Amino acid sequence: MTILKIARMGHPVLARRADPVADPTAPEIRRLAEDMIETMIDANGAGLAAPQVHVPLRLVVFQAPGERADPGLAEDERFDHTAPLTILANPEIEVLSEVREAGWEGCLSVPGLRGLVARPAHIRYTGLTLDGARLTRVARGFHARVVQHEFDHLDGMLYPQRMEDLTRLIFESEARHHLRREDGA
């Protein structure tokens, strides 16, 4: 496996709609997915989309382990904060509730920054596995946030474009000051 170079905000591959994966069972797609997983783990990410590694295809890998959930999440967002390691080609999202939850997001393509982003709290997503089977899951909380964040990359969207208040875009190194201020300290 290979650790791939991650595209950063401003690179054109991150601003365009990715192309469909013609055959998710193809050996080159499996190899790309394996390299993406290795890259995501090496970078300590929760997910990675193919455009982030300079490949404009609709392919994502993600996981939402419980220990990655931010301590400041609302109880509703903690409801479902786990997802197994998942690889999906040509994924789609269906919003199941218009209720939105705000949560802090970071991105491997926007290193060193975090932003407060409101997203639908309850979704269903589908896509094709590397075996060509259709996978469907319902997600809430951190799981839903990670999925939506990664799927956004497939449409040329980065999380700062989803932010409603850019004063909530902060450097990770300063997050402790910001969170302390929110807690009234």
Overall fold of domain 12-182 = Peptide Deformylase (3.90.45)
Q: Which residues of the chain have pLDDT under 50?
A: 68-81
Q: Of 34, 64, 68, whose CA–CA distance to 50 is shortest?
A: 34
Report domain extents, the chain.
Answer: 12-182
| Cβ pair 121, 77 in contact under 8 A | yes
What pLDDT does residue 67 have?
53
Return the pLDDT at 58: 98
pTM, two decimal places: 0.88
d(CA 85, CA 102): 24
Report the SS3 class of residue 116. Answer: strand
Query: Is 72 exposed, middle or buried (CB count within 10 Å of its CB: 0-12, 13-18, 19+)?
Result: middle
Cα 129 to Cα 57: distance, rounded to the nearest angstrom: 14
| Cβ-based neighbours of 127, under 8 Å, separated by 6 or more | 60, 88, 89, 90, 91, 92, 134, 135
Taking only the tens place, the pLDDT of each residue in 116-130 is 999 999 999 999 999
pLDDT at 90: 98
Q: Where do runs of H (alpha helix) occur along 19-125?
A: 27-42, 75-78
How far apart are alpha carbons 168 and 52 in whole angstroms? 23
Amino acid letter, residue 23: D
In this prediction, residue 179 carries a pLDDT of 63
Question: What local confidence, expressed as pLDDT, does residue 83 receive?
Answer: 78
Cα-based angle 117, 115, 125 (whole degrees, multiple of 5):
40
Calculate the CA 28 to chain-centre distance: 22
Catalytic residues: 150
Q: How far apart are CA 3 and CA 138, in angstroms?
A: 30
- Measured over the CA atoms of residue 102, residue 103, residue 104 and residue 107, the dihedral's sign is negative
